[in-house]
Each structure stands twice: as structure tokens, then as C-alpha cells.
Structure 1
Amino acid sequence: MKNYVIALAAGALSIATSGCSSFIDINQNPNSLTAVTPDAQLASALATTAANYTGNNPSYNSYASWAAGYWGKTGVVSGYGEELTYNYSSSYYAGLWDGTYDNLEDYAQIQTNGSANGYPYHAAIARIMKVYNFLLLVDEYGDIPYTQALKGLGQTAPTYDKAADIYKDLIVQLTGAIADIKATDATATSTFTPRAVSSEDIVFGGNMLKWRQFANSLKLRILLRESQTNDATLNTYITQQMTALQASVADNGGDFITSDVVAQPGYAQNTGQQNPLYTRYAFTPSGTGATERSYQIPTQFIINQYLNNNDPRVSQLYTMGARLVNGASAAQYVGARPGESNSPAFNAPTESLPTASRFLGANSTAASGGIIKGLNAPTALMLLSEQLFSKAEAETRGLLPGGDTQAKADYLDGIKASFIYFYRAAATTNATINASTLSALTTAGAAGISQYNTFVATTNAGGSNASNPLVSYDAATSNGALGKQAIIIYQKYLAMNSVASVEAWDDYRRSAQPNLSQVASTQSQSPRADKLPTRLFYPLSEVSTNAANVPAGVTQYTKIFWDVVD
């Protein structure tokens, strides 16, 4: 059952809070399609995806924030044994599997009903979002039910498809969705009048060109993920698909996504209606601190990445803690060292130093920038910075045209987009960002650009970023540990921090960048050189009901097919 209830944005559907639950839960039985039309289903499906990705309990973002070294445990809570030892079980983050498949059932119904009943645009959106969700499952579990999935009572024990085969079909589905949108556009005025998409599209507001661009950005995410194997046949396929992607991008108006892709269903300060990340890690609707607000803190590792490079984003992400320096309390950024026996806690009258830094936004109900922006801030589905860094990597590796000249431009724009995102305060909608100039329409965005300009050229006691191989594209060597790909993925890692952590975690697994060996918990039981895990176990719900089809011998150290670089 979905457990997140929202109020739709004005103009979408007028449903009282007491009636939202039944609206959210109408799609539980795929064998009994309801009379609810696709436009009445779309908003809740999109909101559920966003919550599963970023803020729900559990979410892909929270799982990966621990695995990728962004988060550590405070000294005020026990537990978190699986996060610290990587001794996972079939119950660890099991809700990701069930919640994602439940959400996929919604999209399957929207696609089926939309295609049959004059809602082709809704059907195309659902087709794209099915790819988005299946990709999340494959990347964290490997082989999964795919061709026999979403058939309800018609198939209660589906077989598992190979992850590599699913990857190829995801590209087919995205290509098909783009073609569906274009075909509907072409026939809309002559053959039939399709039902328009309006405010129920809480992501793009019915702009189907943006959905086509998003589909292409998903293609790039998929192709880049599987681009570093030693499989010659797969590498040839990647080259062919990158060429086709370039043609599709040109046909779509010359671009991928041009702004952060976010969902805004009408978050408000009511029970079940706040931004899910804020609700889980900041404050409840009554203004009291959320339970998990005091359990997670940044790691010292991630804090140091900003401090060591004179990166002002640190002040937009974390509050100051304190350490004892020469017998006196000194304000510093203080994080956890995963596995340590005495992790820092928070200020209290009886508490000794050091005291930990908090995530900005978790210490005050006032709207802020950073990670936890506010109770009514939209929820991220794909950051523009991810797209720009991915494009830069593909260009510098020769997978897309443009070479180092275009790669450098996209790389710098990726950093700039991250600055804008983290400096931009909470708002009901994100300000529009033009990807060619990356100029924001808000004061907070402008402040981000100003700080970015200082950052890339800063010179002080800490050194000059104009020659820093972790910042300057020109200073990065063409090969080796500080090469072009490494610097791109390093800055992407900093940009995905605790908002889209699963993308950084997947990047690490497929490229071994950045070096995360030092973020592994000292309590790690991993046999790997980096002392980290590589994936999740299949959940108990599958092991107990579909045991004959669940792949045997899988552990948290079994690699996904594209994970070949150590």
C-alpha cells in the first residue's frame, strides 16, 4: 500500500485530505482496472515516484547516501548495524522493491488505459516513467522480473530477466515513447483530438517536448552506466545507440533536459502533504523535530571534499559544529567517521565536544537552500547538473561529439548548475534555468552563480582552483587517477550529495570514481578491497513467494553486469 498522501496542485483535482488516501490507493489490483481515467491517476503516480526516489522511508536516496559515504551515524542513536557492517539481509531496504513495483502497476494502468481511451500523451508519460522505475530496480538488484511483471493474478510467480537484456529494452521503450509523442503531435489536428495533459502533470505541466527531452536524458543515463564493460558486442551497441541518441536530441530541439526535473504535487504544511525529504529528516507538520533528524549527519569525508577545495557549497549544505581547540570551543564543520565508536552528537547542556554539523534545513523550520530546502519545496527526479556532467563525460570519452572543448563547457555548467541548486532557497517551484547560459531568475540562484565564479578561480591560502586538478578541467591529466573522466565524476559526486545519491553510488560502482575506499565503515565485513557492498539482496517478499525464480547465490557483493571496474 502506498503510504504517502498528497494534495494535488491547484487545478489538478480537488480532493479533500480525508479522501486522498483512497485516490492514491485505487490501483492496487492490476486485474481489475478501475474506471478512473489516466489524468486522475498521473499526479499521484508521479508524486510516489519522486518520494520513493528522494525522501520516502525507504528511499533510493537514503540507501545510497549511506553506501556512497555521504552519511554517518550520530552518537545519540544505536542501531544502523547494516549500514555500518554491510552485513545486509533480505529485509534491508526491502520496501524499495515493493514500493517501486507498486508504483509501476500505476504506470502500467495509465499506459494501457491511455492508449485505449484517447489519452496517448498520458500513456507516453507512463511509458517513460516505467523506464525510470525499472532502471532503479535493475541498478540495485540486477536481474529482476520484467517481461512477466505487472500482470497481477495472471502471473504471481514471474520469471527473472537478465539485467543486460532489460537495459536494451529500456532504450527501446524510450525510443517508442518519443515516437508516440511525435505521432500524437502529428495527428492531433487532423485525425483525432487527444486528451491534453494539464496540471495533473506535476513534473512538466503538460509540456510534451520536455518529456521527450527527459526521455533522451534517461537514455544517456542508461547508456553511460553500461559503457565501461569489456564486452566488445556491448561496446559496439553503445556506440550505435549514442549516435542514434545524438540524432534524437537534434530532432527534439537540440537539447536534453534544460532544467532540474522536479515533482511538485502541491506540498503543504499538513499531515501527509509535506515534502517527503523534509518530513523525514527535518520537521513534522506541527513543527517538532522529525525522529530521524538527529540520527544522520554528514561524514567527515564529504565535508572535507568541500573544505579541501575551498568550495563554498559547504556552507549551503551543513551547519557548523564545534571542536575543542587549545582548551576552547571552536566552530568547525564536524562529521562522522563511519564505524567509529563515539560519533559526534549535537549541542546539549551536558554534552561534551565535539558536536556535529547538521544538514542545513534540519535545524530550523525557516526555508533554506542546500539539501533539505523546506516543507513545500519540489522533489528532485533528475538534476540538471547530472545531465551536464554525464554529457561532458560522454564527450570527453568520444561517445558523443564535441570533444574536450564542449566537454569542458558542459563540465563547468554542471558545477554551476549545482551551485544554483544548492544556493536556491525553498520555493513552491524551482526557478527556470536556461541550460545554455545557466542564469537563474531568483536572487538565491544569482548568489549561486556569484559563488561559482569565485570558486572556479579562487586563490587563497588553500591554493588556486584555477590549477586544482579536482576543479580545473584543464589541469586534469588526460589519463590516470586525475584524468578527465575522474574530475567529471568527482564533481558530479559533490553535486548529487544527498539529493540524488543513488546516481553517485551507481557511478562509483561502474567507474570506481571517486575513490571511496576511505569512506567504508571501520566495522565493514566486506571482502572487497574497497570494503564496500555492491548491491541489495532480493527482498523477503520475493524469497518467500517466488523462491523458484529468485536467482541463487546472490549476496550484497554480487556485481551488476556493468560493474566491472575496481
Structure 2
Amino acid sequence: MKHTVKIVALFVALLTVSSCKEGYLDINKNPNDATSSTPDLILSAALNATAAGMINPNEIGHFWAGQWSPSGSVSGFNPEKTYDLPSNFRTGVWTQAYDNLSDYDVIEQAATTSKQPAFVGIAKVMKAFVFQRLVDTYGNVPYTEALKGTAILRPKYDDAQAIYDDLSKQLDAAVTNLKTPLTAENPSPGASDIVFAGDMGKWVRFANTLKLRLMLRQTNIAAKEATIKAEITKAAGNGGFLAAGENALASPGYLKTAGKQNPFYENYGFTAAGTLSGNHDFYTNADFFITFLSNNVDPRLPRFATLNNAGKYVGVPFGDGNDAYLYAKTSGFGPAILKGFDQKQVLMQSAESFFLQAEAAQRGYLTGSAKTLFESGVTESFKFLEVPDAVKAAAAYAADAVPIRNFDASPNKLEAIITQKWVALGAFEGFEAWTEYRRTGFPKVPISTRAVGTKQPARFLYPNQELGTNEANVKAQGTISQFDTKIFWMK
């Protein structure tokens, strides 16, 4: 049976995930107060904040992409399950993003003044990374007048498409900066770079991969076809994309100390003392995800999930939450998901890079074999999850003449690519999985069993606190529906 203490624990947990609070390597206390420091001293904390800030949007993404579900051991999650979103729903997605963006803006300005293009480039890449997520969550958001501190307290909202167009330009500028030779005057970020340890080539490829993601997001817009192809071609020839083994992972030096462990591990796994975290039993794998992996005899299943107390793989139909789905009766997060207090936090997997390239090739935007790129994506996913004998296992999986697994056997190649990307994103990049579902409709995620209607959410509502501090600009966006006010790139 469910207990009151678990409801209280859930409330505390959700505050922890959704709030913008001080934490490990925290910088800002107030996003309107500028941070004053040198770029190298700010960068580690800014990158760490980005990684930690992805937990909130990824969690809801995993829910709505059919990968995760609350277990029957917890009450609550009513907005997530019903899609009836209150105005204060997951406000941390907004506040943490703008707080984090202000840090990168300080880095960019300081590094521009001190003529350190390596830092300028990284700051531009990460601003594009965070701003794209904001647009993909809310549509129109403050952009050109954002990050101005007390100079502009009520920034206007920019058109989402226009923001995307400028982010593409910013990524080009970032690559130019990142390609500037390192010298005493333009020092390597070195240890302050907790993602690529100062490897500018990887930052270039990460920037280009983000641009590839940005361009492919717009494939439903016929008028953008020529631009998409031209920009992807340019990125491919200007340093290329993240390659095999080039996962973008944040590792600031997590410690087995409360508040300094990997935030994902500490939130969903175990405390520094080795006991179950307060949230551990609240989250589990969704029935849709477990069933897909089981039906496809996927070797990644035991890496993603654990056996339940009856020795079976069992997920929860999203929306359900009765005692039949108590945590112990379901398949919780597996050994590849909860590795340890010092596991690295995912920004982007190399598997995603290959699936993006596969889609681009299939659509005729890139030269090369879509099949080969697809199979490389599968292999990278197996490797990242540490499937035993990963390369051989991935080859056998992709060679089996079964649609979705085997490229040639799949009548809809794009569905195969997106679905395999969805598997790879499981437990790591839930926001991207949900976003790609909104763009493509793949895979065919079932609606919540407690949905208030027949539609799945298309977006978030603007936070109530934004309405309180920037009312005129929020109201200028018109009446917003989480179901019918679609992000510009949706069908």
C-alpha cells in the first residue's frame, strides 16, 4: 500500500528536481546579478549546471516518450499523467535554463574582451544547446533581449523560427572561434573543460552535430528544404560530426559526498551512504519501453532494466499506479543506468550523432550510406550501455532480418532510424526522445491511461512566475494550449 511518508518524500523530491537551488559548483544566486570572474573559473560550473539541469526536462521527456513511468509505490505525478498542466508545471526547466545561460553569456563577454576565442566558442555552443531546448519546450521565448540583467527586466519574446535561424549562425561563429589555434594568448580551456578536456576538435564536431540536430528538427517545413541541405553540407565539410566513442559527457569530479555525487545517480539511485535515495522507488521503466525491448530480443534490455521480484521484466503502463505496479514488482533502472556516484552526466551520445547523420543521408542531405550510419548508431548505443561483446552483439542484432532492427528489412527507413535513436536515448536523453516523437510521430507512443483527452502534449505552458514579472510580453503570445499551440517545427 502507498504511505503518506512517500507522498511527503515525493513532494520534497520534486522540489529538488524542479527548483533552481545552489548546489555542487553553483555560481549564480540571482540570474539578474552578473557573475564576475575569468572564463576558466566559470566554465566548469556552467557546464556542470547544464548537465545537472537536464535531469528535469529529461525526466518528463522519458515519461511522455514512453520510456519511464512512476511506479505504484508513489502517489502524485498527476499533471504528467493527465496532461492537465498547471501554470507552475516544472518551472525549473525555464529558470535553470536562463540562470545557466547567464553564466555562458558572462564567459562569452569576458573571453571576447580578453581575446580568448576557445572560450568564446564553447560559450556560444552551450548557449545554442540550452536555447534550442527552451524553444523546443515553449516555442517563442526571450532571446535578443534576454540575459541583459537589470538593463532589461521584461525582455520581449522572439519568434521561435527566428531564434533557430540565429542559433545556426551562432554555431557557425562558434566553429570559427574553436578552430583558432591555441596559443599563450588563446589558452586551452584544459581542466576547466569538464566535457572534452580542452579538445577543440571535439568541440567543433559537437557544434556541428548540434547544428545537424537543429536543421533536421525543421524537416516538416517545406520552405526550409534548401537551407537544411546547404547548412548540413557546410557543417559536414567544416569539421564533421561527433565520431565513434565521442560522447559529450560532463565529469566535474563527482565525490561520494552528499550533494557532490552525480546528480542523476543521487536523485534516482543511492545516497552517499549507500542507502536508497528518497526517489529510488518512485521511478521505473514504462511498459511500452520494456515490451519493445523484449519483443525485439534486444541485448540492451538487461542493461536498461532489472528483473522484478518475480524474475521477470515488467514495466508500468504510463498513467497507471496501483499496487500491481509497486516498485519491487517492476523493472527498475539497470546497471548501465545507475553505475555509481562518479558516473558521467550525458549531454549527447555519439549514437545520436550517427542516427542524425543516418537521417540526413536518407533524406539526401548528406552523402554516404544511411544504412552504414544507422548500424554505427546501433553499435555506439551497445558500446555506451556496455553490452557484453558490444560490437559483435550489435552486428548480430542489426543483421537479423527484422524491421526496425535491420535497415534493409525496414519498409520505412526513417521510422527505423528514429526508433533506434529512441532506444539509444532511453534513460539518458528523454527530452530529445520526446521532441523527436513530436516531430516524427515515431515510435507510436501510447497515450497516458489517465489522459484528460485524446491528445498528447505538444509543449509546456509559460511559467506562472514569468506571467507575474513579464505579463505584457507573455500575453502578447496569445492563448497557449499545451495540446494545440504547437512548436513551429511540428506537423
Instruction: Give the aligned partner of residue 377 of structure 1.
Output: 343
TM-superposed CA distance for 1:385, in Å, is: 0.6
Q: Does 1:43 align with 2:44?
A: yes
Instruction: Give the aligned partner of residue 247 of structure 1.
Output: 237
Q: How far apart in 1 are the matches of 2:306 and 2:31?
A: 46
The higher radius of gyration belongs to: 1
1:553 to 443, 456, 479: 479
Q: How far apart in 2 are the matches of 1:300 and 1:447?
A: 27
TM-superposed CA distance for 1:245, in Å, is: 2.2
Instruction: Give the aligned partner of residue 504 of structure 1.
Output: 433
1:344 to 317, 325, 343: 325
Q: CA RMSD in A?
A: 1.8
Q: How far apart in 2 are the matches of 1:260 and 1:29?
A: 30
TM-superposed CA distance for 1:107, in Å, is: 0.3
Q: Which moved more, 1:165-174 or 1:330-339?
A: 330-339
Contact 2:206 2:241 (8 Å CA) reproduced: no
Q: How far apart in 2 are the matches of 1:47 and 1:113?
A: 19
Q: How far apart in 2 are the matches of 1:140 and 1:278?
A: 25
1:64 to 45, 61, 64: 61
SS in 1 for 2:490: coil
Q: Does 1:85 align with 2:82?
A: yes
1:489 to 409, 418, 423: 418
SS in 1 for 2:96: helix
Question: Could you list the per-position Cα deviations for residues 509-542 of structure 1 after superposition, in whole angstroms to 9, with x for gaps in the alignment?
Answer: 11111111x2x211101343xxx11111111121
Q: How far apart in 2 are the matches of 1:149 and 1:346?
A: 43
Q: How many residues align?
A: 468
Identity %: 36
Instruction: Give the aligned partner of residue 390 of structure 1.
Output: 356
Q: Which moved more, 1:66-75 or 1:448-457?
A: 448-457
SS in 2 for 1:63: helix
Alignment of structure 1 residues 177-196 onto 2, 5 Å: 177-182=174-179, 184-185=180-181, 193-196=185-188
Alignment of structure 1 residues 7-22 onto 2, 5 Å: none
Question: Could you list the per-position Cα deviations for residues 347-387 of structure 1 after superposition, in whole angstroms to 9, with x for gaps in the alignment?
Answer: 4xxxxxxx111112xxxxxxx3x222211011010001111
Q: How far apart in 1 are the matches of 2:460 and 2:34?
A: 32
SS in 2 for 1:331: coil
TM-superposed CA distance for 1:4, in Å, is: 5.2
Contact 2:250 2:346 (8 Å CA) reproduced: yes
Amino acid in structure 1 at the alignment position of 2:404:
L
Q: How far apart in 1 are the matches of 2:320 and 2:275?
A: 29
Higher helix share: 2
Contact 2:31 2:98 (8 Å CA) reproduced: no
Q: How far apart in 2 are the matches of 1:2 and 1:207?
A: 30
Amino acid in structure 1 at the alignment position of 2:44:
A
Q: How far apart in 1 are the matches of 2:42 and 2:168?
A: 25
Contact 1:217 1:257 (8 Å CA) reproduced: no
TM-superposed CA distance for 1:287, in Å, is: 1.6
Contact 1:31 1:151 (8 Å CA) reproduced: no
2:406 to 461, 464, 472: 472
2:452 to 525, 530, 555: 525
Contact 2:74 2:321 (8 Å CA) reproduced: no
Contact 1:118 1:195 (8 Å CA) reproduced: no
Q: Does 1:295 align with 2:222?
A: no
Q: Normalized against structure 1, the TM-score is what?
A: 0.80
Q: How far apart in 2 are the matches of 1:74 and 1:140?
A: 25
Alignment of structure 1 residues 415-426 onto 2, 5 Å: 415-423=378-386
Q: Does 1:3 align with 2:11?
A: no
Q: How far apart in 2 are the matches of 1:89 and 1:30?
A: 26
Contact 2:242 2:350 (8 Å CA) reproduced: no
Q: How far apart in 2 are the matches of 1:156 and 1:523?
A: 39
1:358 to 315, 320, 332: 332
Contact 1:275 1:377 (8 Å CA) reproduced: yes
Instruction: Give the aligned partner of residue 480 of structure 1.
Output: none
Contact 1:141 1:560 (8 Å CA) reproduced: yes
Q: How far apart in 1 are the matches of 2:313 and 2:163?
A: 43
TM-superposed CA distance for 1:398, in Å, is: 0.6
Q: How far apart in 1 are the matches of 2:35 and 2:404?
A: 53
Instruction: Give the aligned partner of residue 168 of structure 1.
Output: 165
Alignment of structure 1 residues 190-339 onto 2, 5 Å: 193-229=185-221, 231-232=222-223, 234-248=224-238, 252=239, 254-258=240-244, 259-322=246-309, 330-339=310-319
TM-superposed CA distance for 1:255, in Å, is: 4.3
Is the alpha carbon distance of 1:29 and 1:97 closer, same or farther for their aligned partners in structure 2, counting shifts above 3 Å? closer
TM-superposed CA distance for 1:32, in Å, is: 4.5
Amino acid in structure 2 at the alignment position of 1:236:
A
- Stretches of structure 2 that go unaligned for 5 or more consecutive residues are 1-18
- Stretches of structure 1 that go unaligned for 5 or more consecutive residues are 7-19, 323-329, 348-354, 361-367, 424-444, 458-465, 478-482
Amino acid in structure 1 at the alignment position of 2:489:
W
Q: How far apart in 2 are the matches of 1:160 and 1:277?
A: 32
Q: How far apart in 2 are the matches of 1:263 and 1:277?
A: 12
Q: How far apart in 2 are the matches of 1:255 and 1:194?
A: 24
Is the alpha carbon distance of 1:211 and 1:27 closer, same or farther for their aligned partners in structure 2, counting shifts above 3 Å? farther
Instruction: Give the aligned partner of residue 407 of structure 1.
Output: 370
Q: How far apart in 2 are the matches of 1:204 and 1:137?
A: 24
Q: How far apart in 1 are the matches of 2:169 and 2:29?
A: 26
Q: How far apart in 2 are the matches of 1:344 and 1:540?
A: 34
TM-superposed CA distance for 1:224, in Å, is: 0.5
Is the alpha carbon distance of 1:563 and 1:81 closer, same or farther for their aligned partners in structure 2, counting shifts above 3 Å? same
Q: Which moved more, 1:93-102 or 1:289-298?
A: 289-298
Instruction: Give the aligned partner of residue 3 of structure 2.
Output: none
Amino acid in structure 1 at the alignment position of 2:423:
L
SS in 2 for 1:262: strand
Q: How far apart in 2 are the matches of 1:32 and 1:62?
A: 30
TM-superposed CA distance for 1:446, in Å, is: 5.9
Q: How far apart in 1 are the matches of 2:376 and 2:440?
A: 22
TM-superposed CA distance for 1:81, in Å, is: 0.4
Q: How far apart in 2 are the matches of 1:37 and 1:96?
A: 27
SS in 1 for 2:489: coil
SS in 2 for 1:549: helix
Instruction: Give the aligned partner of residue 327 of structure 1.
Output: none
Q: Does 1:513 align with 2:464?
A: no
Contact 1:416 1:449 (8 Å CA) reproduced: yes
Q: How far apart in 2 are the matches of 1:257 and 1:111?
A: 27
Instruction: Give the aligned partner of residue 441 of structure 1.
Output: none
Question: Could you list the per-position Cα deviations for residues 116-168 of structure 1 after superposition, in whole angstroms to 9, with x for gaps in the alignment?
Answer: 02332112111110000001100011000000000011001001001100000
TM-superposed CA distance for 1:451, in Å, is: 2.7
Is the alpha carbon distance of 1:29 and 1:51 closer, same or farther for their aligned partners in structure 2, counting shifts above 3 Å? closer
Q: How far apart in 1 are the matches of 2:401 and 2:480?
A: 45
SS in 2 for 1:72: strand
Amino acid in structure 2 at the alignment position of 1:256:
L
Contact 1:199 1:205 (8 Å CA) reproduced: yes
